A = this chain, B = another copy of it.
Amino acid sequence: MAVPARVRILDGFMAERQRVNRERTIPHGFGQLERSGTLDNLRVAAGADGRYRALADTSGATFPFLDSDVYKWLEAVGWELGRAADPGLAAAADQAIGLVAAAQRPDGYLNSYVQAASDGTPHRDLAWGHEFYCVGHLIQAAVAWHRELGDDRLLEVAVRAADRIDKEFGPGGRDGVDGHPGIEMALVELTRVTGDRRYLTLAARQLDLRGRGLLGPGRFGAAYWQDHLPVREAATVAGHAVRQLYLDCGAVDVAVELEDQALLEAVRRRWEDLVATRTYLTGGMGSRHRDESFGDPFELPPDRAYAETCAAIASVMLGWRLLLATGEAGYADAVERALFNGVLSGVSLDGTGFFYVNPLQRRTRRAWEPPGDGGRAPWYPCACCPPNLMRLLSSWERYVASADAGGVRLHHPATADVRAEVAGGPVRLSVRTGYPWEGRVAVEVAETPERPWTLSLRVPGWCRSATLAAPGRDGPVAAGAAEVTRRWAAGDRVVLDLDLPVRVTEPDPRVDAVRGCVAVERGPLVYCVEAADAPPGTELEELRWDPGRAPAAVPRPDVGPGVVGVTVPVAGRGAAPSVGAVPYFAWANRGAGAMRVWIPR
């Protein structure tokens, strides 16, 4: 199996997203963790005076999983400090790590809600308590700090917490699974960094126990938490989207470690069905608000899309795992679609406004809402998405390239330094690109062993025309992986040119909700029209695509540096002959007005 290459993103689109994440989003997140009481809850669990506090949503519900927001934030900081020092971030993280360590009980148990807001009895409500789930995020943070910084303060806490769970729920112990999967993939990582296979065994046991009805039907039925069928038997995804995707991440990790091909195939089968029947053009997943679940096949309403930011992030995590496990470029296509659209739409360009839900349409006239623009929020009472975005963006280097003995694969174009080990020795590549705005990806071999190895560049599935120029070859390449195997020399150059026309996309005829519409794409980006760009006096609902004229790419510096927009030819009452479309990820940065991805013909 391939492993992530060591990548340093130097410039370009994702470098800018990472810069905003580091300089704006992560510091903002620390402030919100204080403001919401989430850090105070750990203080109370550690013995300080005070009461467990939850940022009240309209229901006044108390959420038992707020610790996980701290862990996700810490994970992001771990990645960031690994990239470069930052005394302010380090000091904030030290504070948070100290709180986490202080809150942990001597027996290893750690959950501020149970310790500070209930009577302290662990694991009494596995269905809704999110106790394993929180420990899972603690482990992920600990692994990041261990790997990136060699700092094991969190790892010591995480090991004690995992041991406490293993003691009660390990082999021969109590049969129980968490209502929210997530710990499985973390336990596999814990085995990878500690070498202790007990955690892998516990992860496998969690997978095996799920689907036996241990959680009961809950409010939404057993499928909500994937407890309706065993993980190896369920043919399709079901229930709460994030739960399913996190579960399948853990299933791939366990399958890889145990070389369990049947388990891997079960996940692949579900993934294929998910991508074919229940995924939005933006890579968003989950079409129902009521239970945050996948809907029926082809039930993909643009207006009521749930498409939670966390689900898009989880699909990146799962697609990446399947890519590493199989080497199939199609998984990277899916990761790219989700990242550039359904993930990045979840955070504003300035880094401090978030969307939990990512619809593909917002109407001009809306149901009554409280005064305010109904747009992005600085935080959420259930704040799973913002710190999840932080950790994904902070760790994006891990997704860019992978390597195994035979060579190096570039999955996502980025201006970056890439280092990897192949059979013959170390490889270093220098990649330069203006992607996703431009289609040229130039790779220079900076360091290479003498023995031949294979350089593989993904040609995205959306690309209908690409050429590859490499020493000794020059010509068209098809979508998939363009591979060059040779004895490389330092200074060798490979240039991939991806044609980037504006594409007019017809929906699958089985998606009833967007029949008679088209969407605009360019490269990996899905576009949308926004009220901010509609001709004065025109509502977006009046716009009709004019099939007689072609859309065209245009610079949109008003939206952001380097941004390429599209002019969409329209014919509508009072409309100008065309209207500007912007990348979907950039919507709702100029006020929260009407928007649509799918435009009626």
Interface positions of A (Cβ within 8 A of B):
58-59, 61, 217-223, 228-229, 234, 236, 238-239, 277, 288-290, 293-299, 301-304, 361, 363, 365-370, 509-510, 512-517, 541, 600
Contact = CB atoms under 8 A, between A and B. Distances in A.
A277 B217 CA distance: 37
B512 A303 contact: yes
Given A228-B368, A295-B367, A366-B296, A304 B301 contact: yes
Given A295-B367, A297-B365, A303-B513, 8 more contacts: A58-B220, A223-B370, A236-B368, A288-B289, A297-B367, A301-B304, A509-B600, A513-B513
A517 B238 CA distance: 29
Number of copies: 2
Interface centre among A58, A223, A369 (most CB of B within 10 A): A58
Given A301-B304, A303-B296, A238 B361 contact: no
Contacts of A363: 296-299
A55 to B, nearest CB: 14
Contacts of A302: 512
Given A289-B289, A304-B288, A515-B516, A541 B367 contact: no
A299 B239 CA distance: 24
A346 to B, nearest CB: 20
Contacts of A367: 223, 236, 238, 293-297, 299
A229 B369 CA distance: 11
Given A217-B58, A294-B367, A512 B510 contact: no
Contacts of A61: 219
14 contacts: A58-B217, A58-B219, A58-B221, A59-B218, A59-B219, A61-B219, A222-B370, A229-B368, A239-B368, A295-B304, A298-B541, A302-B512, A509-B600, A515-B517
Nearest to A292: B290
Nearest to A363: B296
Q: Which of A223, A239, A299 has the most chain B CB atoms closer than 10 A to its own CB? A: A299
A585 B217 CA distance: 31
A380 to B, nearest CB: 15
B238 A368 contact: yes
Contacts of A516: 515-516
A560 to B, nearest CB: 29
A215 to B, nearest CB: 11
A255 to B, nearest CB: 22
Contacts of A228: 368, 370
A223 B368 contact: yes
A417 to B, nearest CB: 45
A218 B58 contact: yes
- Most-contacted residue by chain B among A229, A293, A303 (CB, 10 A): A303
A93 to B, nearest CB: 35
A574 to B, nearest CB: 16
Contacts of A289: 288-290
Contacts of A217: 58
A189 to B, nearest CB: 29
B290 A290 contact: yes
Contacts of A512: 302-303, 361, 513-514, 600
Given A220-B58, A510-B541, A299 B304 contact: yes
